[in-house]
Structure 1
């Protein structure tokens, strides 16, 4: 995210911490010179007391400064700014990020999220592919994928978005990179907090939290409850959970923090519609589908030790339990998923070294996430007899990486890295009531080793502008259920997707403007592509197949521009934020589809936000999101409609920061549009049920108190 700052045309932006430090050194030098000039006979010379004040950098600003060293596209989002309106899911947080597609369906935390076309045509039920998600650097994503109920943004201080191989230091090697959510703590959010939201279609949300510091320890605890009746018929959802962390500083060299995230959720999702229904009967829901989470739990710890030479060692341990009752309502064959991951992460960071007389910073990272227990069982609802049982236990993702940043000159930095990857996938049908009449096996188990190099360069053109570029390789192993689950009595031998990517761009600011422009191109081999081979009906569940596709290209443009349009004498401002994404994803001479576009994501997306803000606390905002049409089938015979959504937001934050209130209105023109689509193989130019309807005009209001 591009952080807007107040600055004059003829002055540079100043980092508050660096400025305070520099002023302190300057003042001490001046006083030292004065003292040295005094005659030796001067008696009791004393320095006058000098007080240097400066705004303390927030955790988001610190993260932004750190990620600015990456020779590629990154963004940091301050979740406190997002909380000035409705902030119920990842769509709200990831808005206005060029290159990122995030849309919610059925009003839940289950979002379709894609960065640079990662998992672009994944069937919608909340699964996100091609992106590694983390909380506080601890993996949420495992061999079985990412559980969508944890993406509810509870207790998050700020969000780091690292595109593609720019997520190298998090051992993330996916085409889409990584998203790291950093938790609030007792040090960043002391005191008590209460927040209440209510809105259209029965939306309600309540949050209570408390945090503080006691000697060398700090604590933060937040509880949340949310519910929504839904826009489509019979699409209610409800969830509740707790987020907590406890930190302790043993001494200046050793500190640790324990984390807990727990959430229960039940929801009913609406079925996909035809384009005709989307326009004329968008609330239709003939085949609802229920999902139930009986208690997703993520517990972990991160311990940091600082050596005498200021090198740091971070040790992270995590346990992730995410059960799922799929089809707990309505489905003819309900499924009971058990998934328990264990992960270990190690990061060794060295700064201030020299190599060949040049400044050198190095990293060594290790990440291992193993499916300690993973299986799925399904049964026939009518007879209660077992349908199928598939086991994935033992699947794992292991990455060991070496990285370095070398300062070649005052204005040039060279980054390099090499990752060693070990991927194991196991999927075995232990029981099935069906008969396998295909050539596919009943089980697949393999282990693949690979390497992923990365090299990048940053060059500071001027004190205000920097250009960057990098070349990298990405590895995306399939998640376990993509090999097979319960819908078919066989397993597909799906292998990791691999890509080589070139990226370059420019970022910086001058005068009233601040922004960046990034271009990239990825040559993808064995892309993981999914297709709906059978639509859900009242008697049959939806059937989706995943396979490795022929060579494809992912390329695009990511542009963001912020402008301080006006600043009053009292500090009132009018600002404009804009984000533009061009997606060009297509086959490379496929035997069947030639150079057809890949379905699933808009080719162009434009977002804008115009805001008036008073120093007294009042703010008003007008925002827009426009997306072009895109295909829903590989044959490029049928497409989703384009759309433009308008929204407005008004709020007031008391100068004391003790309370605030807001009104957030969306889709003011009542546009009927599709938030996401299923992917068909060949629609033959015929309208078919592949569209998930978005919410019409809706309003949310909220109030928050700090005490």
Structure 2
């Protein structure tokens, strides 16, 4: 991006700035390893087939990846409020997840992916999937589907480590794995209620009948909201049906349906954030009349144990944007068809060495996608833009070669073809710019990767990789209804180097990852006009000059105490350092990129009794960060404290909890807009986070 002004900042490298209190605490604890006289096998998770949960099985598989990955057991999240992606992705280093207006519309970023996206719930730079079937399409990710209903566990794959899902984004992929009749048999009821009118009710049933299994869940949620006029409500259905034809062939059908009506609050100034945080003079109404994911996944196992997975999906995402309050409401239609193929071979030999291989293919096409705006006063159509035919196609080859007893070499090559089409078919405005009324292009690129794992000791493993990422713009980044022209925005590309160590000893286990990405044509968005009572917000996206994304992702878990009867005291910690900046931009020099905290530290101290009682104290601290490219205005830093107590009956038949957040009632910004040059003046770019709030819940298995 360019500007008439020039402003530079002095930066230090990530390693020089990592001396925060959180990382020091983790390093101090790590030095205690030498003094530990505990059997090191205590920190090892042994996975033994039938006794292992689905999350443990996934964790075992992802440890084979020569890069950073994580697995979140959603059952652990359900011991407290489980409303959105912020709840699920907490305590994951390198992952930023924050919600506004209490809805499932979250800002989610991994390693700075889509870091300055204007915040209306859309997530960029990450490929989201349910059960390996794409949720993300050429039009982006629909935020209403991130409601976390009926999810067994969540796989987080950073950057190029998501290659098995044909994901080439800078941020990688997040795969939500559904509960099934085999993992969650029986009947289940869950009720949550809390501050600001929050309510959530879920009923589910599942079981196995011969060679078939079924799972059905229904959900209702609602919230009055903290800001004025920010109520939201929704209901949804999740179902899947599986059938095992024989030991070699099985299939599963998936259905996800969601209706949602919500009103989001406008951004505030820093003064309002502190003195009038409930103000909402320009609410933003959004309505989903029936988002739907239909899919199937069939797996065939050959005689040599090679597997072929075939996935088919249909996604329908209708949206009425600005259905309340907006002077120009918009009717969005977005229907995708996707095909995924994965062929996996294990136990082969290559050059006389053990070898595993994979071939993957993914094609997601918008077969019907457009947006139409009209005047609220006259009802007349003002503009229609068509995106039909936009497509993302990825073909990948991968191999893991065991060089010796301690070393594994992984390699791969992906071919991606991106087609984008944006055409203004009708408008009442006059295009006086130099931009065209339509853009259509097809672009092909290669994305190689090379990784290495080395078993340093029986307990610790080193890993590293080099890779290339390709992020195509989502269709509406080229243009929608705010302007009578289309921008020729091209894919963002980056080369990334990543190194790390993971493992455990005694009472400790954790990981440390350092990465650096050289980004070209980064997709950068800026709010060029704030929403008013008579005009909608206007956002522009363009390809920026070269940038750097680099950082540190550190996690450390410790079993501080364990009683003879099974009682325990444990501590989880996660630290993230984000250093995202320009590389000698002609206007902004080496300025920091706005949109995400430079440092984030999270911790969770938990006491559990063998009898079922548990109590927890948690904290999240985030440093200040800029909200404009000129680096003249910043969001305030904050530290949030929370506490949770609950009881889980030994029979697992019922559970109750109380989850309290923001105990000190701090007023802070949970996310921000991105300005071009704020000139140091306070402006309305901050989304207020919830003050002190309490949620209580109860669940039953019957």
Tell me the TM-score normalized by structure 2.
0.94
Tell me how far apart the structure 2 counterparts of residues 407 and 210 of structure 1 sit (CA, whole Å): 44
Structure-2 separation of matches of 1:452 and 1:344: 20
1:166 corresponds to 2:127: no
Tell me what 2:452 maps to: 457
Corresponding residue of 1:41: none
Contact 1:305 1:314 in 2 (8 A): yes
CA shift at 1:307, angstroms?
0.3
Match status 1:202 vs 2:202: no
- In 2, Cα distance between equivalents of 1:173 and 1:14: 32
Map of 1:151-550 to 2, 5 A cutoff? 151-550=146-545
Shift of 1:17: 4.5
| Aligned mates of 1:649, 1:299 — CA distance in 2 | 37
Residues in 2 aligned to 1:372 and 1:246: alpha-carbon distance in whole angstroms:
27
1 CA distance for matches of 2:93 and 2:401?
29
Q: Answer yes or no: is the 8 Å Cα contact 2:47–2:60 preserved in 1.
A: no
Over the residues paired in the alignment, what is the CA RMSD in angstroms?
A: 1.0
CA offset digits 1:590-648 (Å, max 9, x no partner): 00000000000000000000000001000000000000000000000000000000000
Mapped partners of 2:37, 2:466: distance in 1: 36
Matching of residues 18-97 of structure 1 within 5 Å: 18=48, 56-97=51-92
Alignment-derived partner of residue 674 in structure 2: 679
Unpaired segments of 5 or more residues in structure 2?
1-25, 27-35
Do the aligned partners of 2:44 and 2:504 also contact (CA within 8 Å) in 1? no
The answer for the alignment partner of 1:689 in structure 2 is 684
**Secondary structure in 2 aligned to 1:329?**
coil
Q: Aligned partners of 1:397 and 1:9: how far apart in 2? A: 51
CA deviation map 1:363-391 (0-9, x unaligned): 00000000010000000101111110000
Could you say what secondary structure the match of 1:201 adopts?
helix
Distance 1:332 1:16 in 2: 59
Cα distance in 1 for residues equivalent to 2:85 and 2:284: 22
Deviation, 1:16, is 3.9
Give the number of the structure with larger relative contact order, counting CA–CA contacts within 8 Å between residues 6 or more apart. Answer: 2
Q: Which of these residues, 100, 105, 108, is aligned with residue 110 of structure 1? A: 105
Alpha-carbon offset, residue 321 of structure 1: 0.1
Q: Please give the per-residue CA displacement for 1:27-71, whole angstroms capped at 9, x wherever unaligned.
A: xxxxxxxxxxxxxxxxxxxxxxxxxxxx70000000000000000
Matched, 1:9 2:38: yes
Once residues 690 and 44 of structure 2 are traced to their aligned partners in structure 1, the CA distance between those partners, rounded to angstroms, is 42
Give the C-alpha shift of residue 569 in structure 1: 1.2
Distance in structure 2 (CA, Å) of the matches to 1:207 and 1:518: 38
**Counterpart-to-counterpart distance in 2, 1:156 and 1:346:** 23
Give the distance between the partners of 2:430 and 2:541, measured in 1 at CA.
Answer: 20
State the alpha-carbon separation in 1 of the partners of residues 47 and 83 from structure 2: 33
Listed one character per residue, the Cα deviations across residues 418-472 of structure 1 (whole Å, up to 9, x for unaligned) are: 0000000000000000000000000000000000000000000011000000000
Q: Distance in 2 between matches of 1:14 and 1:228?
A: 41
**Is 2:643 the partner of 1:648?**
yes
In structure 1, C-alpha distance between the alignment counterparts of 2:264 and 2:178, rounded to whole Å: 29
Tell me the CA shift for residue 11 of structure 1: 3.8
Uncovered stretches (5+) of structure 1, i.e. residues with no partner: 21-54
Q: What do the CA deviations read for 1:215-239 (whole angstroms, capped 9, x no partner)? A: 0000000000000000000100000
Whole-angstrom distance in 1 between the partners of 2:259 and 2:266: 23
Residue number in structure 2 paired with 1:35: none
Deviation of residue 10 (structure 1)? 1.9
User: Residues 345 and 629 (structure 1 numbering): CA distance in 2 closer, same or farther, change over 3 Å?
Assistant: same
Partners of 1:16 and 1:56 within 8 A in 2: no
Question: In 1, are the aligned partners of 2:47 and 2:56 still within 8 Å (CA)?
Answer: no
The alignment partner of 1:437 has SS state of coil
Indicate conservation of the 8 Å contact 2:47/2:57, yes or no: no
Question: 1:9 offset after TM fit, Å?
Answer: 1.7
CA distance in 1, matches of 2:499, 2:430: 52
Measured in 2, the distance between the counterparts of 1:66 and 1:705 equals: 32
Alpha-carbon distance in 1 for matches of 2:376, 2:180: 45
Q: Deviations over 1:481-501 (max 9, x none)?
A: 000000000000000000000
Partner-residue secondary structure (3-state), 1:489 = coil
The separation in 2 between residues aligned to 1:527 and 1:15, in whole angstroms, is 40
The residue number in structure 1 matching 2:31 is none
Contact 1:8 1:512 (8 Å CA) reproduced: no
Q: How far 1:357 moved relative to its partner? A: 1.1
Bigger CA radius of gyration: 1
User: How far apart are the structure 2 equivalents of 1:17 and 1:539?
Assistant: 60
Q: Is the 8 A contact 2:645 2:659 kept in 1?
A: yes
- Aligned pairs, how many? 667
Q: Counterpart of 2:490 in 1: which secondary structure?
A: coil
What is the distance in 2 between the residues matched to 1:8 and 1:264? 55
The equivalent of 2:620 in structure 1 is 625
